[in-house]
Amino acid sequence: MNKLLAGLGAAAAVVAVFVGVQLFGAPGGGLGSQPTPAATATHVPTSSPESIPPPLTPSFTSSVHGYSVSYPEGWTVRAATEPWTQSTFPLDLERFDIDILYEPSSYAGGVFLAIASQPIGDSTPEDWVASQMSIEEGCSAHTAVTVDGFAGQIGRYDCNVAVVTAAGRGYWFQLYTGSEAPLAYDNAWFEEVLATVELYPEDAVD
């Protein structure tokens, strides 16, 4: 009988402790204290200065390919030293028949312009433009464009190539955007660059 009473007393003590914790909280906690969720910082996206292309204020004139173009402040120019004689335009940064205008901190992984020209020979302007757009570096989807008053074709969507002819000379303009290139360097920006171009086919060197 004593053992039974002792057991009941112990059980009652456990129940009392449980009720007390529920009403008054654990030792050291205040009345009704509840865990307070940690504050979570909310990230508000902002525009990065690096994502906005610099103004097109400097100008480069190609003594080999016969044109001038404005390009972004802070960019570097590697001018061609020899004419473009190949029939197609495989983009290769080791070639010296292409004018390369580039953002120096990233170069191949970032963004650059590649420009060259050559005589179209016996081809008609339409045929030369079509043949250039049909190569691997060309654009399967393209539309009409005018550069310095001369007609040609420009790629659509993310294909930033423009091909035009002037006075028997064909011009290739390409905007390359690598993995490090800000999204602002898109087709619309490419067209802004093309709007600054002036063509001097009579001054080109072959």
* pLDDT above 90: residue 118: yes
Are 87 and 14 within one domain?
A: no
**Domain range enclosing 196:** 53-203
Residues 94 and 129 in one domain: yes
Percent over 70 (pLDDT), the chain? 74
Question: What total of structural domains would you count in the chain?
Answer: 2
Same domain, yes or no: 18 and 94: no
- Do 128 and 161 reside in the same domain of the chain? yes
Average pLDDT over residues 121-139: 95
Residue 97's pLDDT is 95
Confidence check: pLDDT of 62 > 60: yes
Statement: the pTM of the whole predicted model exceeds 0.85: no
**Does residue 72 share a domain with residue 24?**
no
Q: What band does 14 get if pLDDT is binned at 50, 70 and 90? A: very low
Residues 13 and 109 in one domain: no
C-alpha torsion sign, points 110, 115, 120, 124 = positive
Do 16 and 114 lie in a common domain?
no
Tell whether 199 and 136 lie within a shared domain: yes
Q: Cβ neighbours of residue 140 under 8 Å, at least 6 residues apart?
A: 133, 159
Which strands form 59-62's sheet, in the order they lie side by side?
59-62, 67-70, 198-199
In this predicted model, what pLDDT tens digit does every residue of 140-198 receive, in sequence order?
999 999 999 999 999 998 899 999 999 999 999 999 998 778 889 999 999 999 999 99
Judged by average pLDDT, the poorest of 69-83, 98-112, 142-156, 185-199 is 98-112
- For residue 44, tell me if it sits in a domain: no
- What's the rounded mean pLDDT across residues 58-81? 97
For residue 28, what pLDDT band results from cuts at 50, 70 and 90?
very low
